[in-house]
A = this chain, B = another copy of it.
Amino acid sequence: MPRAGLTADRVVAAAEMLADDVGLPNLTLAALADRLGVRQPSLYKHIDGAEALRRAISLRAMSELAESLARAAAGRARGDAVRAIAIAYRTWAREHPGRYTAMLRAPDPGDPEGLAASDRLVSVVVDVLSGYGLAEEDAIHAIRALRSAMHGFVAIEAAGGFGLPVDLDESFDFLVANYVRGLESR
């Protein structure tokens, strides 16, 4: 029997694509093995089971998204920068729904890699908001509010939760503009 030449990276990469295709809940080791042309138990030579696979997807997703946001914010400040990262955030989530869903899983408090990846993501937003010169704690509140708004919109959108036939792009613009207006009129 010829070898399939798998590596942990290739397995995770295939899992990411599969998750984006069929949705995270339908990402099954059986389906993944099938797509890789391999039997299900063979995957265990590269990953530590379904849960570990989801965690790996989550880590890589946080990295990718953080980089994407950082690129979007480069060279911009204040309102411009906030708008840019908000658009980048939503765009990434829509292009990678499976990865995005995986990313939402709380990093286990005893998982340094997970916490680090999460911190990196937060720090991009911290940098963008630093232009507003908010006081210590207010800066934290502002970051949380922005994350909440972006995540909430994207999550509801992904779940198909916005029923009415009103343009979603405009709604998202409104949301970001309203947030920025709130910050600037303090």
Contacts and interface: CB of A to CB of B under 8 A. Distances in A.
A144 B175 contact: yes
Contacts of A156: 144, 147-148, 151
A182 to B, nearest CB: 4
A146 to B, nearest CB: 9
Nearest to A153: B148
A181 interface: yes
A51 to B, nearest CB: 11
Interface string A1-26: 00000000000000000000000000
A156 B152 CA distance: 9
A175 B145 contact: yes
A26 to B, nearest CB: 13
Most buried by B among A141, A174, A183: A141
Interface of A: 104-106, 109, 115, 118-119, 122, 137-138, 140-142, 144-145, 147-153, 155-156, 159-164, 166, 170-171, 174-175, 177-183, 185-186
B182 A142 contact: no
Contacts of A147: 152, 156
Given A152-B151, A182-B179, A145 B163 contact: no
17 contacts: A104-B159, A109-B160, A118-B163, A138-B174, A141-B171, A144-B156, A144-B171, A145-B153, A147-B156, A148-B150, A148-B153, A148-B156, A178-B179, A178-B182, A179-B179, A179-B182, A181-B181
A182 B182 CA distance: 4
Q: Which 7 A-B pairs have the closest CB atoms?
A: A152-B152, A148-B152, A141-B174, A182-B182, A178-B182, A106-B160, A148-B153
